[in-house]
Amino acid sequence: MLIVKNSIRIYTKLTLIPLQIMIRTLFIMKRKKVIWKVSPVQEQKLRHKWNKISKYSKKVSITFQKDKELIERIKRETLRHNKNNVTRTAAYLNFFNQHPEVHWAFLAHMVSRNAGYFMTDLKGEFLPDLIEPSVIKELYTMLEKGNSLIFHDAYPQLLLYEESKRRNSPVFNLCKFFHVSSFMEGVWEVFFEGDRTSLLPAAQIINEQNHIDMHLIRTEPFQKLHNQLSFKLQEWLHLSQILFPVLPLHHSIGDTMQGFENLNKRLMLGQNLYVMLFHPDHLDPVKKFACHHPHTGSRSDYDSDVFSFSKSHNGHALKEKLSLFKTKKSLKLYSPKLDEAWDTNYHGPFPSTDWFTQSKDVMSQLRLISKPSPQIRMAYWAGLHQIETAYLLKQYYRLIKKIEA
């Protein structure tokens, strides 16, 4: 028989959770601010590039042996680093350390870290008791596929830029051999010619979100998953905080992901995260964390006082582990390493359809939006308390049913 050893601390949960809901509501009403948008000169230059690309795209062939070798090498390196979330995340950081002018690579690293945390949460302390095993697997497959699709599209672009720097001559005409959108081919050419505005990162956010919108979000399996109660439960509990750790952790930054199925909301989230990450006060401390704490997928990477990649041995006792902004006594939440939680990864197929047409209005999306976000630490801990509350209520329900039986 299950024994209730500790009663739930009602006070903490009845103050922190409603307070976070109130704060989030207030911030929703705050107006977003456009801090950068594409200029008329940039727009003219991009349209010229795209027109030129569309004219020669079907006629381009590989005539030089060194280009054939480059294409094969990039394909090999992309496949090697696209093994799983851990290898992808490391590859982004390694690239950024070598080419810090390509800001998006670091944004991709930090967002990919969070994708890994979401994947291991599915096998962690609470979710296995709240979501059906079949839906757990479907959620993981969706996260893993999206992470892999983005890397397969983006990493060849990064390596083409690296080669262009090495040759001191652009090789972005090879983008089509990796099924990269003509949209990005034109943007990379403008960037290589010296444009160091926010054009490249803003465009990369647009490109990758449109890429997964076409090849993941609009697919039948995702739509079916999204309509299931368990997916709605995950959103309701606000488990999807994108956390960029800064040590000590109460200085961390981030935002909450909501309405994942909506392209415009994902674009706005990506833009806001970029602005936040590359703020002069934030970049160095977040980068310091990233470089000193290799990504394993376990949340113990950034908070070993709260999380452990080893399971505790507390039997089946109903025990609340969370206090206000910490765990009680020596208790820790289980957060496994990625390679211990999952042994299946997505390795294709990788669709080759180009989402971009010049009739598609992207100029209005080529911008950066900043919107004030509530302090991520409170949102993060309120989310943990919400999910623990749901977990404990379910355990008490099981206990009552067992007693009645």
Among the ranges given (50-54, 104-108, 264-268, 385-389), the one the predictor scored with the smallest mean pLDDT: 385-389
Q: Which residue has the higher pLDDT, 317 or 68?
A: 68
Q: Give kind and range of the element (H or E) at residue 33.
A: strand 33-37
Backbone angles phi and psi of 80, in degrees to 5: -65, -45
Quick one: CA dihedral 215, 219, 225, 231, positive or negative? Answer: positive
Q: Which pair of structure tokens corresponds to residue 254?
A: 């981030």
Q: How far apart are CA 255 and CA 313, in angstroms?
A: 34
Model confidence at 8, pLDDT cuts 50, 70, 90, reads very low
Cβ 105 vs Cβ 99: under 8 Å = yes
Q: Phi-psi category of 219—alpha, beta or left, where left has phi over 0 and alpha has psi -120 to 50? A: beta
Give percent of the chain with pLDDT exceeding 90.
66
Tens-digit pLDDT profile for residues 163-208: 999 999 999 999 999 999 999 999 999 999 999 999 999 999 999 9
Give percent of the chain with pLDDT exceeding 70.
88
* The pairing of beta strand 307-308 with beta strand 367-370: unpaired
Q: What mean pLDDT value characterizes the chain?
A: 89
Name the 3-class secondary structure at 149: helix
Cα torsion through 155, 161, 166, 167, rounded to 10: 130
Q: How many CB atoms lie within 10 A of CB 226?
A: 14
Length of the chain: 405
Q: How far apart are CA 3 and CA 319, in angstroms?
A: 9
Domain ranges of the chain: 10-348+360-404
Q: How far is CA 278 from CA 105, 198, 314, in A?
A: 12, 11, 42
Cβ 362 vs Cβ 183: under 8 Å = yes
- Highest-confidence segment of 5-19, 213-227, 308-322: 213-227
* Residue 84 pLDDT exceeds 50: yes
List, in sequence order, the alpha helices (H) in 237-262: none
Name the 3-class secondary structure at 298: coil
Among the ranges given (56-70, 215-229, 308-322), the one the predictor scored with the smallest mean pLDDT: 308-322
pTM attached to this predicted model: 0.93
Q: Is the peptide bond before 351 cis (omega within 30 degrees of 0)?
A: no
DSSP E strand stretches across 222-346: 241-244, 253-256, 307-308, 333-334
Question: Minimal CA–CA distance to 296: which of 128, 87, 125, 24?
Answer: 87
Question: Minimal CA–CA distance to 109: which of 154, 48, 173, 62?
Answer: 154
* pLDDT number for residue 4: 39
Cα torsion through 118, 120, 126, 127, rounded to 10: 60
Question: Minimal CA–CA distance to 155: which of 55, 227, 73, 69?
Answer: 73
